[in-house]
């Protein structure tokens, strides 16, 4: 799997947008970008994924640069419940390859 | 959505005893299950991959005789920590993938099991 680089921590004011960056400069053409988050003492939760187009769902938006070497996860209106560690992972579309977690970004949403 | 459960959620045991952790896919058939371990303030580390009906594949540095994995059915995998010691105290998380998944090959995670070895 390609490696990803994320800032270790970020703060965000409650109600504001949280923008979490991820660098994946060695991503291969068949690899997707996945985002998961882990709230303290819980299992990881799927957020969103994408290949090259921007994606949006009820939780977040994913913006992938045209060269696919970086992406940004956007939580449009962060709440205190969004405080968690956010993991950006790249993985091939098919096959049995498991998700391999890096260190992630610890997002603290502040009231 | 697909739900993965783990039992127990917390376990405390004495050093030298064995502990079994169950992972179940509740509403789908899991052809592949993964076991992760997470130490405090660290990321998840993949321990092993198991396919239903076959032997698990362990990551480098994970002792297969100490961490016994059984994936006997499409809805159940178990991890047994044999002769547990305090250094095995950790948060164990299972994950399941189904052949019924959509094209993006999603992994579904359990809530984790906190093991404390005294």
Task: Quote the percentage of chain A above a pLDDT of 90.
Answer: 86
- pLDDT of amino acid B107: 86
In 3D space, the residue among B50, B48, B57 whose CA is nearest the CA of residue B73 turns out to be B50
Structure tokens at B65: 């005789």
- pLDDT of amino acid B103: 41
Is there a contact between B43 and A43 if contact means CB atoms under 8 Å apart? no
DSSP string, A11-69: EEETTS-EEEEEE-TT--TTEEEEEEEE-TTS--EEEEEESSS-EE-SS-EEEE-TTSS
- pLDDT of amino acid B102: 55
Mean pLDDT by 10 residues, chain B (118 residues): 92 97 91 94 94 90 94 92 96 87 70 97
> 3-class SS at A80?
helix
Residue B4 CA to residue B110 CA, distance in Å, equals 5
Nearest Cβ partner for A32 among B34, B49, B104: B104
The answer, for A100 touching chain B at a CB cutoff of 8 Å, is yes
Provide, as residue numbers in chain B, all residues whose Cβ is less than 8 Å from the Cβ of A42: 111-112
In 3D space, the residue among A47, A71, A72 whose CA is nearest the CA of residue A60 turns out to be A47
- pLDDT of amino acid B28: 84
Is there a contact between A42 and B111 if contact means CB atoms under 8 Å apart? yes
Minimum distance, in Å, between the CA of residue B86 and any CA atom of chain A: 19
Residue A61 CA to residue A67 CA, distance in Å, equals 18
pLDDT tens, residue order, chain A (111 aa): 558 999 999 999 999 999 999 999 999 998 999 999 999 989 999 999 999 989 999 999 999 999 999 999 999 999 999 999 999 999 987 777 889 999 999 999 999
Residue B114 CA to residue B118 CA, distance in Å, equals 13
Minimum distance, in Å, between the CA of residue A6 and any CA atom of chain B: 13
Residues of B with CB under 8 A from a CB of A: 4, 6, 32, 34, 36, 43-46, 49, 51, 91, 93, 95, 97, 103-112, 114
- pLDDT of amino acid A2: 57
The answer, for A53 touching chain B at a CB cutoff of 8 Å, is no
- pLDDT of amino acid B27: 86
Residue B87 has phi, psi (to 5 degrees) of -70, -10
How far apart, in Å, are the Cα atoms of A91 and each of A35, A87, B10, B67, B71?
11, 13, 31, 26, 24
């Amino acid at each position: 799997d390609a490696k990803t680089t994320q800032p270790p921590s970020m703060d965000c004011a409650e109600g504001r947008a949280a923008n979490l960056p991820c660098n994946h400069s060695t991503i291969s053409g068949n690899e997707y970008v996945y985002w998961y988050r882990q709230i303290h003492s819980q299992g990881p939760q799927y957020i969103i994924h994408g290949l090259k187009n921007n994606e949006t769902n009820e939780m977040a938006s994913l913006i992938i640069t045209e060269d696919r070497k970086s992406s940004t996860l956007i939580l449009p209106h962060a709440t205190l419940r969004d405080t968690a560690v956010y993991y950006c992972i790249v993985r091939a579309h098919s096959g049995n390859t498991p998700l391999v977690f890096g260190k992630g970004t610890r997002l603290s949403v502040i009231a | 959505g697909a739900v993965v459960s783990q039992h127990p959620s917390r376990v405390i045991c004495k050093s030298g005893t064995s502990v079994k952790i169950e992972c179940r896919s509740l509403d789908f058939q899991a052809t592949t299950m993964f076991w992760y371990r997470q130490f405090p303030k660290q990321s998840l580390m993949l321990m092993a991959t198991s396919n239903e009906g076959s032997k698990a594949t362990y990551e480098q540095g994970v002792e297969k005789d100490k961490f016994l994995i059984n994936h006997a059915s499409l809805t159940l995998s178990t991890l047994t920590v044999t002769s547990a010691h305090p250094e095995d105290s950790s948060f164990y998380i299972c994950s399941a993938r189904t052949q019924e998944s959509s094209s993006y090959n999603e992994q579904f995670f359990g809530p984790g099991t906190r093991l404390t070895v005294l």
